[in-house]
Copies of this chain bind each other. A is one copy, B any other.
Amino acid sequence: MMIVMKEGATEAQIAEVVERVESVGARAHVSRGEFVTVIGAVGSHDDEVAGLGLEDHPAVDRVVPILRPYKLASAQFRHGEPTVVEVEGRRIGGDHFAVIAGPCTVESRETMLEAARAMRDAGAHLLRGGAYKPRTSPYSFQGLGEAGLALLREAKEETGLPIVTEVMDVRDVERVVEVADVVQLGARNMQNYNLLTEVGRAGKPVLLKRGLAATLDELLMAAEYVLKEGNPNVILCERGIRTFESSYRFTLDIMAVPVLKELTHLPVIVDPSHAAGRRSLVEPLSLAAAAAGADGLIVEVHPNPDAAVCDGPQQLRAETFAEYLKRVEQAAELAGKVIQAGV
């Protein structure tokens, strides 16, 4: 913590702040500038110093945190070495670019298997599909639940594609990890700390979506909840943030990709479908994400989006997916990625 004093702070006021800093066990390091004095609180007592509320001291201008709040998630923790998450032979992170594709929701056996086959044939690396669906309205379809999980298992058996699916409730973690190769935590649950902890303990790789108003620091702190349970395989996912612009559903924060790659060793992927909300925007955003250095994409594709149970408008058509994938991989190559074969 650095405590910046106001111009004109007296020696007595400086001494008072020093005393308060030392009262919680930190060392105070006073640095007198031409205009203002800055007091550094040295030692691992950031929480205690923050708790002093020095912002309200009449001679204090600001209190500035210095240490990043996350440890295990920071790039320094692995000395700049990227984490590569490996899921049944597919790699995400480092030089490896992977595409997770499939329908928004598991709707029926027929649609799910048709989608899975189409994804495998087109060369997707992993298969997505939601059995539990967080819905803004209590009157909307909430997912097939356990029956949906069974269909995902069947889709994997038939196609060999590893499964990515969401868990929303701590009581479902056990049954979801039986089927999922990667457990997804949605944007609305990014700060559901008990769920993060349970998923961390379950051991399977975790796909963690950024909350729609979460800072990058908060995203990394959420990852830290998983990592501290001994689970090193966290994939971060940018999926659009909320801004004043209402022409589109969310604003894809493309800068989060290169900035996260500097801050953390964890892989960073992008979800263009939820950001866009409309099919025609998905490809431009996908190319942008790959060109900006993302380690992969998670994208919604449906055999017949017009009949989809939910989010039809944003799902790509399965018949155009192979072409889309080729262009996306070219963009990833521009950013230095080696493309791996699909199944």
User: What is the interface of chain A, defined by CB distance below 8 A to chain B?
Assistant: 2, 4, 6-8, 29, 31-36, 38, 40, 42-44, 47, 50-56, 61, 64, 66-69, 74, 76, 79, 134-140, 142, 168-171, 188-189, 191-194, 197, 211-213, 215-218, 221, 224-225, 228, 241-248, 251-259, 262, 275-281, 284-285, 287-293, 305-306, 308-314, 327, 330-331, 334-335
Contact = CB atoms under 8 A, between A and B. Distances in A.
Contact of A192 (B188, B312, B334): B188
Contacts of A218: 136
Contacts of A188: 191-192
B335 A334 contact: no
Q: What are the 5 tightest A-B residue pairs by CB atom distance, in nearest-first order?
A: A53-B313, A213-B213, A287-B291, A288-B288, A291-B291
Contact of A55 (B31, B170, B224, B278): B278
Nearest to A70: B137
Contacts of A247: 215-217, 259
Contacts of A55: 277-278, 313
A278 to B, nearest CB: 5
B292 A193 contact: no
Q: Taking the full assembly, how many copies of this chain does it contain?
A: 4
Q: Which of A44, A136, A306 has the most CB of B within 10 A?
A: A136
Nearest to A309: B51
Nearest to A50: B313
A175 to B, nearest CB: 14
B246 A215 contact: yes
Given A44-B35, A287-B334, A241 B248 contact: no
Contact of A313 (B52, B259, B292): B52
Nearest to A45: B34
Given A42-B31, A306-B53, A281 B259 contact: yes
A67 B331 CA distance: 37
B246 A246 contact: yes
B168 A193 contact: yes
A310 B53 CA distance: 10
B56 A38 contact: no
A32 to B, nearest CB: 8
Contact of A244 (B244, B291, B312): B244
Contacts of A293: 284
B216 A245 contact: yes
Contacts of A251: 241, 243, 251, 253, 255
Given A51-B312, A55-B313, 6 more contacts: A36-B66, A52-B313, A61-B68, A136-B218, A192-B192, A245-B256
Contact of A51 (B308, B330, B331): B308
A277 B54 CA distance: 12
Contact of A224 (B64, B137, B211): B137
